[in-house]
Amino acid sequence: MKLIKVAAAALNQTPIHWENNLTNILAAIEQARDENVSVLCLPELCITGYGCEDAFHSSGIRQSALEMLQKIIAQTDGIVVSVGLPILYAGGIFNAAALIVDGRLTGFVAKQHLAGDGIHYETRWFKAWPAGVAASVEIDDVEYPIGDLVFDVGGVRIGFEICEDAWVGTRPGGSLAARGADIILNPSASHFAFGKHEIRKRFVLEGSRAFNVSYVYANLVGNESGRAIFDGDTMIASGGKMLATGSRLSFGLCALTTATINIESTRMVRARTGSFEPDVDGDESDIIDTSFSWPQCPLTRNEPVSEDWEVNTDLKAEEFTRSVALGLFDYMRKSFSRGFVVSLSGGCDSASVVALIYAMFRLAETELGFEAMLIRIEHCLPKICRDNPPQDSQALLKTLLTTVYQATENSGDVTRDAAAAVAEEIGATHYLFNVQPMVDGYEQVVSQAIGTKLNWDDHDITLQNIQARVRSPSVWMLANLNSALLLSTSNRSEAAVGYATMDGDTSGGVSPIAGIDKAYLRQWLVWMEQTGPHGIESLPSLKLVNDQQPTAELRPPGENQTDEGDLMPYEILDAIERLAIGGKLVPVEVYEHMRVQFPGIDRRQMGNWVVRFFRLWCRNQWKRERYAPSFHLDDQNLDPKTWCRFPILSGGFQKELADLQTHVESADV
pLDDT, residue 281, reads: 79
pLDDT confidence band for 668 (50 / 70 / 90): low
CATH architecture of structural domain 3-305 = 4-Layer Sandwich (3.60)
The full length of the chain comes to 669
What does the pLDDT average to over 580-586? Answer: 96
CA 191 to chain centre: 5
Provide the whole-model pTM.
0.95
Taking only the tens place, the pLDDT of each residue in 427-464 is 999 999 999 999 999 999 999 999 999 999 999 999 99
If you average pLDDT over every residue of the chain, what do you get? 95
- Residue 107 gets the label, from left (phi > 0), alpha (psi -120 to 50) or beta, of left
pLDDT, residue 283, reads: 81
* 73-82, 271-280, 331-340: range with lowest mean pLDDT: 271-280
Q: Can you tell me the distance from the alpha carbon of 137 to that of 151, in angstroms, rounded to the nearest whole number?
A: 16
pLDDT, residue 261, reads: 97
Q: Can you tell me the distance from the alpha carbon of 566 to that of 501, in angstroms, rounded to the nearest whole number?
A: 14
DSSP characters for 297-357? -----------GGGSSS-HHHHHHHHHHHHHHHHHHHHTT--SEEEE--SSHHHHHHHHHH
Query: Where in the sequence of the chain do the CATH 3.60.110.10 domains occur?
Result: 3-305
Query: Which residues, 6 or more positions from 384, have their beta carbon under 8 angstroms from its beta carbon?
Result: none
Query: Where in the sequence of the chain do the CATH 1.10.10 domains occur?
Result: 568-669
Q: Can you tell me the distance from the alpha carbon of 526 to that of 503, in angstroms, rounded to the nearest whole number?
A: 29
Q: Can you tell me the distance from the alpha carbon of 498 to that of 622, in angstroms, rounded to the nearest whole number?
A: 9
> Contact 382/482 with Cβ under 8 angstroms?
yes
Q: Does domain 312-558 correspond to CATH entry 3.40.50.970?
A: no
pLDDT at 141 over 80: yes
Percent of the chain with pLDDT over 90: 90
Q: Give the residue, 573 or 313, on which the prediction is more confident.
A: 573
Q: Does domain 568-669 correspond to CATH entry 3.30.450?
A: no
CA distances from 607 to 267, 383, 633 (A): 62, 57, 30
In degrees rounded to 5, what are phi and psi of residue 429?
-80, 120
pLDDT, residue 284, reads: 84
Query: 202: part of which helix (H) or strand (E)?
Result: helix 196-210
pLDDT, residue 306, reads: 76
What does the pLDDT average to over 43-58? Answer: 97
Taking only the tens place, the pLDDT of each residue in 201-256 is 999 999 999 999 999 999 999 999 999 999 999 999 999 999 999 999 999 999 99
What does the pLDDT average to over 14-40? Answer: 98
Q: Can you tell me the distance from the alpha carbon of 535 to that of 91, in angstroms, rounded to the nearest whole number?
A: 52
pLDDT confidence band for 307 (50 / 70 / 90): confident
Query: 80: part of which helix (H) or strand (E)?
Result: strand 80-89
Q: Can you tell me the distance from the alpha carbon of 76 to that of 216, in angstroms, rounded to the nearest whole number?
A: 19
Query: Which residues, 6 or more positions from 431, have their beta carbon under 8 angstroms from its beta carbon?
Result: 402, 403, 404, 405, 478
Taking only the tens place, the pLDDT of each residue in 330-383 is 999 999 999 999 999 999 999 999 999 999 999 999 999 999 999 999 999 998
Q: Decide: helix, strand or coil at residue 229.
A: strand
* Strand-pair category, 183-187 with 429-434: unpaired
Query: Where in the sequence of the chain do the CATH 3.40.50.620 domains occur?
Result: 312-558
CA 366 to chain centre: 21
Percent of the chain with pLDDT over 70: 100
